[in-house]
Amino acid sequence: MDNQRLNEIGGVILDAAITVHKELGAGLLESAYQLALKRELELRGLFVKARVPVELVYKDVPLGKSYEIDLLVENEIIIEIKSCESLIPIFTSQIITHLKLYYRKLGYLINFNVPLLKDGFKRIVNNF
């Protein structure tokens, strides 16, 4: 998928996340936002998988499932969902790890526990 299409889908993801945040507000569990955002993205015509396992390979040996992607959109964009007081650097490291292990270029870190969603929305790239 080309970068322009990835960016277009990113706009849809942002708009869908804002819709979910307006509908549900802050203060719910991450799992609630995951389910709602998955549904909202599907309503907008996107293919979305939830809780996608990612296998860790160490020195060419598969070690089994070690990570889980919250949402995978169009088999290309990784979304990591949080519902916390603030985003800390380890959350960014987490999604970068997912991007590298799953060989993807673009991800979004979304914290729904904020008054305005734009303050909890972070775009992360890997060899974009």
What is the rounded CA–CA span in Å between residue 9 and residue 77?
A: 8
What is the rounded CA–CA span in Å between residue 74 and residue 77?
A: 7
Instruction: Give CA torsion, residues 11, 114, 94, 4, to 10 deg.
Output: 10
State pLDDT tens for residues 98-118. 898 888 999 999 999 999 998
State pLDDT tens for residues 5-64. 999 999 999 999 999 999 999 999 999 999 999 999 999 999 999 999 888 888 988 887
Q: What is the pLDDT of residue 87?
A: 87
Q: Where do the structural domains in the chain lie, given as residue ranges?
A: 3-125
Tally of CB atoms within 10 A around 98: 23
Q: pTM, whole model, 2 decimals?
A: 0.92
What is the rounded CA–CA span in Å between residue 18 and residue 117?
A: 6
Consecutive H or E run containing 11: helix 3-24
